[in-house]
Amino acid sequence: MPIKNGKQYVDRLNKSNPHIWVQGKRVDGPVSSHPAFRGLISTQVELYDMQGGEGYKPRMTYTSPTTGDPVGLSFLRPESREDLERRRIMMSLWCDRHHGLLGRAPDYMNTAIMAFGAAADLLKENNPQYAENMKKYYEYCRENDITLSHAFILPPTARMSSFMRTLEEPDAPRVIEKTKEGIIVSGAFLLATQGATAEEILIFPPALPSFADENLHAFAFAIPNDLPGLKFICRESLVAGDSAHDYPLSSKFEEMDTLVVLDHVLVPHDRVFIYGDETLLGKFIEESHFHTHATHQVLCRCIAKTELMLGTIESIVQALGLRTYTQVIEKVSEVITVLETLKALLIASEVQAKPDQWGTMLPNPSSLYTANCLYPKVVPRLMDIIQLIGASGLVMIPNDQDFQSEIGADLTRYLKGIEVDAQQKVRLFRLAWELSSSSFAGRQSLYERFFFGDSVKVSSRLYYNYANKDACADKVRRLLT
């Protein structure tokens, strides 16, 4: 089957009926109509409709090498700089549609699974069958346009340091039994964003030591969301209301995060990618260049998000007539500086791209990892700037019902801006509130700070991959001799 459209996405989600819990209740109707998910799902429907839509399809799809059908361009294995550019254009179109607010829009995992598929031969070290499984899984995702989430991290008590301290059997996910049909796995993963709104999940824990001869904690696999024993437990929803007029962001872009619990889940052998080899877990992530390919998508997203922030700030400046205040302009220029830096890093990553050991064109990791280090640090500042310029306007934001009531005339008179009427001004500030100060904004900030690991991990990735530091040290050595 080629690319799917929005309706097919919804039909498949609703048909699969996974085990999802929200606020202590099991979701028993269609996922697509649940208040915690329907806004997000309608946005993803738009994304899937877009890729096959008039005017977009040539820029968002390519011809499948196996079937000749159109498939999503974010699955493309790039072989040239032109391919990277095509992929970037496709991902930017989707990112523009969700304004960079969906960290786990489908193209994120599409690039990741492409990187894993391209590097699959590395898995032969563990078992030649696993390499074939990974190649086939990449092809399966591409040909069926699978919406994939992932869970990599473990609950705190399952991590090595805690169980090394107690020397007890860890609370970490592990293989309980190996059968003719597959491996049976139990345990939990701390977080899968969009776990409940995807079709499948990729499970890839960090390397843990084992007390048994065979490392039962070392595995990687992908499974459909509705396998028996698999549960998604949602955090509290941050949808402030269904009205896009009153809640322009949380009504459409609230990506649910889930705790993923596996209770004797039977993973078929053909879905296992690694088993028993903890060294290969880290090595595969590193050598498949997962972080580099994923960051090519991440940077498109950060640019779209920064454009939304700049657009919001500039609209406030215009609405309040602040253009002549130099301290305001200085802050807006700070946002422009971030945006232009991100754009330059993205293009630099493509211009300096080189083929990797798998024959895949790899965008320059240094440019991309620099963006990974920079963005988590500047995002809170960008949110601050919205607060500093928006000031009290951010709280004086009556909703549509207030405007329709008998006090509407007062609001219309006293809440207008310099260049805009009261309703336009309030709509703008409701957007600014959701973007900078709401619980939705808090989660966005947390996401940017941690989605790729904490700042130490992200900085180490840049440092250890940055070859140019040795050349710089050589220059100093020459200077000093």
451 is a site residue for ligand FAD (CB under 6 A)? yes
Q: Residue 118 and residue 114: Cα distance in Å, rounded?
A: 6
Q: Residue 36 and residue 232: Cα distance in Å, rounded?
A: 13
Between residues 148 and 313, which has the closer beta carbon with respect to ligand FAD? 148
DSSP-derived 3-state class of residue 52: helix
Stretch that binds ligand FAD, among 92-100, 303-311, 427-435, 452-460 (CB under 6 A): 452-460
162 is a site residue for ligand FAD (CB under 6 A)? no
290 is a site residue for ligand FAD (CB under 6 A)? no
Q: Residue 147 and residue 149: Cα distance in Å, rounded?
A: 7
446 is a site residue for ligand FAD (CB under 6 A)? yes
**Nearest Cα to 345, choosing from 371, 376, 324?**
371
Nearest approach, Cβ of residue 174 and ligand FAD (Å): 18
Nearest approach, Cβ of residue 444 and ligand FAD (Å): 8
Q: Residue 383 and residue 317: Cα distance in Å, rounded?
A: 15
456 is a site residue for ligand FAD (CB under 6 A)? yes
**Nearest Cα to 199, choosing from 151, 234, 152, 147?**
147
Residue with the two structure tokens 């440092």: 463
- Concatenated DSSP letters for 341-374? HHHHHHHHHHHT-EE-TTS-EE--HHHHHHHHHH
Stretch that binds ligand FAD, among 300-308, 337-345, 377-385, 450-458 (CB under 6 A): 450-458
202 is a site residue for ligand FAD (CB under 6 A)? no
201 is a site residue for ligand FAD (CB under 6 A)? no
Tokens matching residue 416 = 């207008």
Between residues 383 and 397, which has the closer beta carbon with respect to ligand FAD? 383
Q: Are 308 and 249 in contact (CB under 8 A)?
A: no
**Which residues make Cβ contacts (< 8 Å) with residue 269, sequence separation at least 6?**
129, 133, 181, 182, 183
Which residues from 122-151 bind ligand FAD, rule CB under 6 A? 150-151
- Contact residue for ligand FAD among 62, 140, 450, 466 (CB under 6 A): 450
CA end-to-end span of the chain, whole Å? 65
- Contact residue for ligand FAD among 454, 460, 472, 475 (CB under 6 A): 454
Between residues 187 and 393, which has the closer beta carbon with respect to ligand FAD? 187
Which residues from 264-283 bind ligand FAD, rule CB under 6 A? none
Binding residues vs ligand FAD (CB under 6 A): 104, 150-153, 156, 191-193, 257, 443, 446-447, 450-451, 453-454, 456
